[in-house]
């Protein structure tokens, strides 16, 4: 791309036809019908594309920018600094994950651990992450903060952002009650504990010859929980599989929006009404360097039902024409099982 084309791409991003853009501002309307309509729009999007862009979410732009800035500061630290905070277990799911340790692939849905291990060796994901869970000083699992001045800032910024994203999670669940014809307070009662995961992601700059058709920054996969809230920088690279065509389409970054997608737990919960859609991260859309692709940063907030919840197919998603496909499952056990399959 030329510089002019790059600027045009940023100012006038092309919205994929298969991923709707929804104005979320009616989430706090006093007009009940507006909330109902918004809930139905979300249900329609999750039942077709499995992905949606939301604009006008209750997220402070300053806090968004500070989270990206702080994330970049962390990933710029030395390897020794970061590895000292290393991720230890799927049960905890907290800490630093160095490049090559995780392999995202659709194979983990069917439990093909040996093949995932081979893929990790020949085609590792080209990214590093930092995982943050619910802050619980007296609990069994602890967040892994750096023990220095930067660590204080990192903790404060991250936890403030974590709380804002949890509030958005709750609001979406409240609206889905309307769209799924569930009683008021039903779905949001499953997310009161905030048992979620804030993931900071850094895709380092990489030589163009490294990102082949086989080598992705993140392999094709579905998320594990209920919904994911994603913030992207403007580099691009996220692609979503279109259910109708079977082709991958670009989930073009759009400023001041949050990309929301359905996870496997939510598809199961809705008895396959909602679509947990395959997605991946490939080469960025913009690169003026002849040999190297630039770094990419994103922030994902993985939402889960409370860990002590037993998830069963929603009653309004089961009928004679669509009988129950899944038995009850523990939210925590489901997550641990899926995480265990993707990490070395």
- Report the run of H or E that residue 131 belongs to, with start and end: strand 128-132
What tens-digit pLDDT sequence spans the chain (344 residues)? 333 333 334 334 455 568 999 999 999 999 999 999 999 999 999 999 999 999 999 999 999 999 999 999 999 999 999 999 999 999 999 999 998 766 555 444 545 445 444 444 445 688 999 999 999 878 889 999 999 999 999 999 999 999 999 999 999 999 999 999 999 999 999 999 999 999 999 999 988 877 766 567 888 889 999 999 999 999 999 999 998 888 999 999 999 999 999 999 999 999 999 999 999 998 887 666 778 888 999 999 999 999 999 999 999 999 999 999 999 999 999 999 988 877 65
Spatial separation of the C-alpha atoms in residues 3 and 223, rounded to whole Å: 35
Domain that holds residue 93: 3-342
Spatial separation of the C-alpha atoms in residues 275 and 243, rounded to whole Å: 9
Contact 71, 64 (CB under 8 A): no
Confidence at residue 338, expressed as pLDDT on a 0 to 100 scale:
87
Check which CATH number belongs to the domain holding 182 and give it.
Answer: 2.60.120.330
The sheet carrying 197-203 orders its strands as 21-23, 51-55, 257-262, 227-232, 296-302, 197-203, 128-132, 95-97
Contact 21, 57 (CB under 8 A): no
Q: What is the pTM of this model?
A: 0.90
310 CB-contact burial (10 Å; exposed 0-12 / middle 13-18 / buried 19+)? exposed
Write down the residue that tokens 């979503």 correspond to.
240
Total domains in the chain come to 1
Give the closest residue to 224 by CA, choosing from 316, 300, 165, 163. Answer: 300
DSSP state of 184: T
């Amino acid at each position: 791309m030329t510089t002019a084309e790059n600027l045009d791409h940023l100012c006038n991003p092309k919205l994929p036809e298969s991923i709707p853009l929804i104005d979320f501002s009616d989430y706090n309307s006093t007009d009940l019908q507006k909330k109902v309509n918004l809930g139905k729009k979300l249900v329609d999007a999750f039942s077709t594309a499995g992905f949606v862009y939301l604009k006008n979410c209750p997220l402070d732009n300053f806090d968004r920018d500070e989270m990206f800035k702080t994330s970049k500061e962390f990933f710029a630290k030395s390897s020794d600094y970061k590895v000292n905070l290393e991720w230890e277990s799927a049960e905890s799911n907290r800490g630093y994950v160095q490049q090559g340790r995780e392999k995202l692939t659709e194979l983990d849905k069917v439990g093909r651990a040996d093949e995932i291990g081979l893929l990790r060796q020949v085609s590792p994901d080209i990214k590093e992450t930092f995982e943050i869970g619910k802050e619980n000083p007296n609990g069994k699992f602890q967040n892994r903060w750096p023990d220095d001045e930067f660590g204080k800032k990192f903790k404060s910024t991250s936890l403030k952002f974590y709380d804002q994203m949890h509030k958005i999670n709750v609001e979406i669940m409240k609206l889905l009650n309307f769209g799924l014809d569930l009683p008021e307070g039903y779905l949001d009662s499953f997310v009161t504990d905030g048992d979620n995961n804030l993931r900071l992601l850094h895709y380092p700059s990489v030589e163009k010859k490294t990102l082949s058709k086989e080598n992705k920054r993140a392999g094709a996969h579905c998320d594990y929980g209920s919904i994911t809230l994603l913030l992207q920088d403007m580099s691009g690279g996220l692609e979503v599989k279109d259910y109708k065509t079977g082709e991958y389409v670009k989930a073009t970054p759009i400023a001041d929006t949050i990309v929301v997608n359905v996870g496997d737990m939510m598809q199961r919960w809705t008895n396959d009404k909602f679509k947990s859609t395959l997605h991946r991260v490939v080469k960025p859309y913009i690169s003026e360097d002849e040999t190297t692709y630039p770094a990419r940063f994103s922030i994902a907030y993985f939402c889960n039902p409370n860990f002590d919840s037993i998830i069963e197919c929603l009653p309004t998603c089961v009928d004679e024409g669509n009988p129950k496909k899944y038995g009850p499952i523990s939210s925590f056990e489901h997550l641990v099982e899926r995480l265990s399959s993707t990490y070395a």
